[in-house]
A and B are shown apart, each in its own frame.
Chain A
């Protein structure tokens, strides 16, 4: 039988459409347990490729006959080998093109909605890592928020829809992924905005983004209002776009809240985080649709693959927004924190411009889930 490649984009469609898929992940057990492709109707079997060198006969009875089968490894090589063995044993199988490396880098653009005067907002869903970034488009111009390092995805998309990128913004200095903000700004001559309190050590020029700043995209004046909202980092800033959307960065997610320990001491910032979530955000309209910079679990995706929910619903349903006692809140966000993201200190230094790792190294630094939240 045959074996063929399946691209990360094709796997993304299966995640969003909740299609059945059987994934044979041939990475070692610890890598698999740390991070894998997630999908509601995906079934998994983890057998390291090095246990299959003598043949796949012993695992054939564990592979269903009635489902699509995808063999996955870190970079592709081992999955091709195993897929070939399975096809020789009579199965029709796929291997993931580019492996988990490609899965981690794939961005799926999803249109979130329309703004005043025909302007639009798009969410770029990085399914493999749970990162979300945004493009606000108005009258031939675009702003990009919390971009990943895969800058071609945004540049190509802007080209396709015929807009010029004029502003690039980061809600905070990221610790889980390398920002493409500075490079997009260099390539397009756009302004690069960063919260100055997070940018104290950066080695490049930037526009200081402060509470009350209003950035206008296109002549039709889609406003991005900056709202100082510390807690995940000391500089964390949210954006209210067109009085309709709240881009909450890594402060508030759909089913969790930001963790305060990745850029300093959790103890010091826990009060900021509480004040942002329980006071500053409380003053905003409950009708605002929250667009966070991450999701943690696949259940946070809406039917169309987007990650978005009304602020009012989050106040009702998100556990992190419903802790009456300050001591209990403090315990949630400082005790029992999940492990920190892979290489998070190096990622922060890269985002500050202090170190400049090559592409391969950057890829490696970003391996694994984002781990920016507490539940």
Chain B
């Protein structure tokens, strides 16, 4: 799916994927979509929970060759 910004957090361990996601999100406008690529499996549940608690929408997730991809719409 289309995104307004892309964040490469591959190879980073917890908590960095969320720390970077949060920072990237600050540069977006409400309704815009951030695409995030990570390899830390723990990020899956954490990004979902973080989106929810921050009022954002986790629109889509995908997994390709051990890379987890997320699309989050800023709320």
Interface residue stretch chosen among A70-78, A286-294, A336-344 = A70-78
Within 8 A of A (CB), among B48-73: 49-50, 53
Q: Which of A29, A77, A364 contacts B16 (CB 8 A)?
A: A77
Contact A30 B49 (CB under 8 A): yes
Interface residue stretch chosen among A14-22, A49-57, A272-280 = A49-57
Q: Is B22 an interface residue (CB 8 A)?
A: yes
Q: Mark B17-58, 1 if CB is under 8 A from A, else 0.
A: 011001000000000000000000110011001100100000
Cα distance, A364 to B45, chains bound together (Å): 14
Number of A residues whose C-beta is below 8 Å from B?
A: 16
Contact B15 A78 (CB under 8 A): yes
Q: Which residue of chain B lies nearest to A29 when distances are taken between CB atoms in the complex?
A: B49
Q: Is A81 an interface residue (CB 8 A)?
A: yes
Q: Which of A51, A53, A75 contacts B19 (CB 8 A)?
A: A53
Q: A28-B45, A50-B46, A53-B22 are in contact. Are A73 and B14 (CB under 8 A)?
A: yes
Cα distance, A28 to B49, chains bound together (Å): 7
Q: A28-B45, A28-B46, A75-B42 are in contact. Are A50 and B53 (CB under 8 A)?
A: yes
Q: Which residue of chain A lies nearest to B47 when distances are taken between CB atoms in the complex?
A: A50
Cα distance, A28 to B13, chains bound together (Å): 15
| Chain B at the A interface: SS class | helix
Within 8 A of B (CB), among A29-76: 29-31, 48-51, 53, 73-75
Chain B interface size band reads 10 to 19
Cα distance, A78 to B13, chains bound together (Å): 9
Q: Which residues of A contact B22 (CB under 8 A)?
A: 50, 53
Q: Which residue of chain A lies nearest to B14 when distances are taken between CB atoms in the complex?
A: A77
Q: Which residues of B contact A51 (CB under 8 A)?
A: 53
Cα distance, A128 to B17, chains bound together (Å): 27
Contact A49 B15 (CB under 8 A): yes
Instruction: Give the interface centre of A51, A73, A74, A81 by most chain B CB atoms within 10 Å.
Output: A74
Cα distance, A145 to B22, chains bound together (Å): 48
Q: Which residues of B contact A30 (CB under 8 A)?
A: 45, 49
Contact B13 A50 (CB under 8 A): no
Q: Which residues of B contact A50 (CB under 8 A)?
A: 15, 18, 22, 46, 49-50, 53
Contact B49 A81 (CB under 8 A): no
Contact A75 B45 (CB under 8 A): no
Cα distance, A77 to B15, chains bound together (Å): 6
Interface residues of A (CB under 8 A from B): 28-31, 48-51, 53, 73-75, 77-78, 81, 364
27 A-B residue pairings within 8 Å (CB atoms): A28-B46, A28-B49, A29-B49, A30-B45, A30-B49, A31-B45, A48-B53, A49-B14, A49-B15, A49-B18, A50-B15, A50-B46, A50-B49, A50-B50, A51-B53, A53-B15, A53-B19, A73-B14, A74-B14, A74-B42, A75-B13, A75-B14, A75-B42, A77-B14, A77-B16, A78-B15, A81-B15
A48-B49, A50-B49, A75-B14 given. 9 additional CB < 8 A pairs?
A28-B46, A49-B15, A50-B15, A50-B53, A53-B18, A74-B42, A77-B15, A81-B15, A364-B41
Interface residues of B (CB under 8 A from A): 13-16, 18-19, 22, 41-42, 45-46, 49-50, 53
